[in-house]
Structure 1
Amino acid sequence: MSDCIFCKIANGQIPSTSIYEDDKVKVIFDISPATLGHALVLPKSHAANVFEIDDELLAHAHIVAKKVATALKEATGCKGVNILQNNGEVAGQSVFHLHIHVIPRYDDDDAHIKWTPGTQDTEKLAEIAEKVKAVL
């Protein structure tokens, strides 16, 4: 897409601090990081979200995310890593080009990627399970 900022970054039209690149993805440091070393895995071809991306490209991007997480853990000394990918504005997606966040985690960081565990509605989940099984 000609107006997609992540397409432009992934394909070298906009400069970035890149830490990995191959023919399918580019990995950059996030300019608005949650923590030190927060990186983004950007596919070079455009897909707005997980519902649109090719399965093989998504798998490749996640393999790269794992490699980047391993390298960041060694390079930063972080104690853990969040790997996440948001789909839709309500889920926190702000740039509509699929990207995977690799976020190093430290004892004293202030990244708030947590939630309060809720309770299950087993009847409603049984209904949803049947619908999901029918689609799969």
Structure 2
Amino acid sequence: MSDLLDASAQCVFCGIVAGTIPCAKVTEDATTFAFMDIDPGSDGHLLVVPKRHSADLVEILPEDLTATTLAAQRIAKAALSELGADGINLLNCCGTEAWQTIFHFHLHVIPRYRDRGKDRMELPFEPGMPGDAEAIAESARMLAAVL
């Protein structure tokens, strides 16, 4: 438990939730807190975090994951209607190699726009490029065996 206390004491998102680090708050409830991303990929890009510290997708408690995901869905609907977004990306990065930079679980709610002036994001890979069928089947077999 002391590792969790040490991690949360040094965590920027825990500081935001506690009110000791400023943010552009969007909404909060008993379990979650949402605020604007300071390095947005598009207009209206925000983050939804559980108030309770957990490092990532692997560590988060199921009830916090559920609450955070449902909050993100509610916010995504508001972004579509109120910001005029044409779509939404919901993104989680788990681990350094997956681009995670803050080790407090969070979901990015990223409004997407046809207007490139509002949307600076680009895909990191090229959709429509089929992978190796044997490698795909092997990954499926390995995962299915443990699930």
Mapping of 1:95-114 within 5 angstroms? Answer: 95-107=102-114, 108=116, 109-114=119-124
Out of 34, 39, 55, the position equivalent to 2:62 is 55
Paired residue for 1:119, among 116, 130, 135? 130
Instruction: In structure 2, list runs of 5 or more residues that go unmatched.
Output: 1-7
1:4-43 superposed matches below 5 A = 4-43=11-50
Q: What is the match of residue 86 of structure 2?
A: 79
Equivalent residue pairs, number: 136
Residues of 2 paired with 1:52 and 1:104: CA distance? 27
| Structure 2 Cα separation of the partners of residues 13 and 26 of structure 1 | 14
Misfit runs of 4+, over 6 Å:
none
Distance 1:71 1:51, change over 3 A: same
Give the alignment's Cα RMSD to 1 decimal: 1.4
- How far apart, in 1, do the equivalents of 2:97 and 2:107 lie? 17
Tell whether 2:10 aligns with 1:3: yes
User: What's the TM-score, normalizing by structure 2?
Assistant: 0.86
**By how many angstroms is 1:56 displaced?**
1.7
**With structure 1 as the length reference, what TM-score do the two structures score?**
0.92
Distance in 2 (CA, whole Å) between partners of 1:33 and 1:51 is 25
1:42 is aligned with what amino acid?
V
User: What residue is the counterpart of 2:144 in the other structure?
Assistant: 133
DSSP-derived class of the 2:136 partner:
helix
Q: Which of the numbers 91, 99, 110 marks the counterpart of 2:98?
A: 91
Structure 1 unaligned segments of length 5 or more: list them: none
Q: Report the alpha carbon displacement of residue 121 of structure 1 after superposing the two structures with TM.
A: 2.0
- CA offset at residue 122 of structure 1? 2.2
Per mean C-alpha deviation after superposition, the further-off stretch among 77-86 and 114-123 is 114-123
User: Would the alpha carbon gap of residues 94 and 119 (structure 1) be closer, same or farther in structure 2, given more than 3 Å must change?
Assistant: same
Aligned equivalents of 1:120, 1:111: Cα separation in 2: 23
